[in-house]
Amino acid sequence: MSQTSDAQPAAAVTEIQAGAFDRPRCRRDGTSACEGCGVRAFSVCGSLATDELDALNTMSEKAHFAAKETLFLQGDRADFVFNITSGTLRLYKLLPDGRRQIVGFLLPGDFVGLSLSERYGFSADAIDAVSACRFDRSDFVAFVDRKPHLLRRLHEAATHELTVAQDHMVLLGRRSAEEKVSSFLLTMRERLHRLGASAVTIPLPMTRQDLADHLGLTLETVSRIVSKLAREKVLLVVPDGLRIMNPSRLEQIGAS
């Protein structure tokens, strides 16, 4: 986890370079790329049968974004939806006074861009190299209308996101700085465990400034809390992340 702040994203979406979008191809055994996708089991498309995946596969483009590249900006037309297959996204809103509020981080398997509004309500950029399946929004909506089981899966995902948003509101308004940082790390541990990653070392590609903007804290406060937990041997700072040395203590703080 870097201790420095990222530069603000560009004012407009960078034009996609040639080759940044590729149509998925069938494998030599005739199966589609969807069937071998590493995030299928915990993504919304996990509810689809093989023939339905084939239909979805023909609608998708494989999108690749370099670190710090913008997928879309707040207020842009919501023409596309994305299913993240690798990397980490940062979602944020710019306040009228220019401050940035990070509303969340997306991991592989997360879905972004599908809403009732015709325009994106927040901006999204890649923290590290990101790959995603990109779908034309109108085509995807038409596909979902024909697949009630996929609609249920999307509804479940939206309900979960609403719960997470409500929990985050409580986190911002009613908890101490130490509780905020600890709770965030525990949440990341749970999400990474769901992806099959280690529950001990938490890779954090985002900067400490990102964490501060997400938790409603200052960069100095986040650094002070991490240093304090490291001195108490609750955490160990490792390259690009944190290792949980005392899970029970971290859970105790986070659940306060």
Which one is predicted more confidently, 73 or 158?
73
CATH topology of domain 176-254: Arc Repressor Mutant, subunit A (1.10.10)
Which one is predicted more confidently, 194 or 227?
227
Q: What is the CATH number of domain 21-166?
A: 2.60.120.10
Q: Is the pLDDT of residue 208 over 90?
A: yes
Q: Indicate if 176-254 has the same CATH topology as 21-166.
A: no
Query: How far is it, in rounded angstroms, from Cα 252 to Cα 256?
Result: 6
Report domain extents, the chain.
21-166, 176-254
Q: Is the pLDDT of residue 227 over 50?
A: yes
Question: pTM of the entire structure?
Answer: 0.78
Structure tokens of 87? 């990397």
Which one is predicted more confidently, 156 or 92?
92
* SS3 state at 243: strand
Give the pLDDT confidence of 40-85 residue by residue, as tens digits: 777 777 777 778 878 888 888 999 999 999 999 999 999 999 999 9
State the sign of the Cα–Cα–Cα–Cα dihedral 144, 147, 150, 156: positive
Q: Is the pLDDT of residue 237 over 90?
A: yes
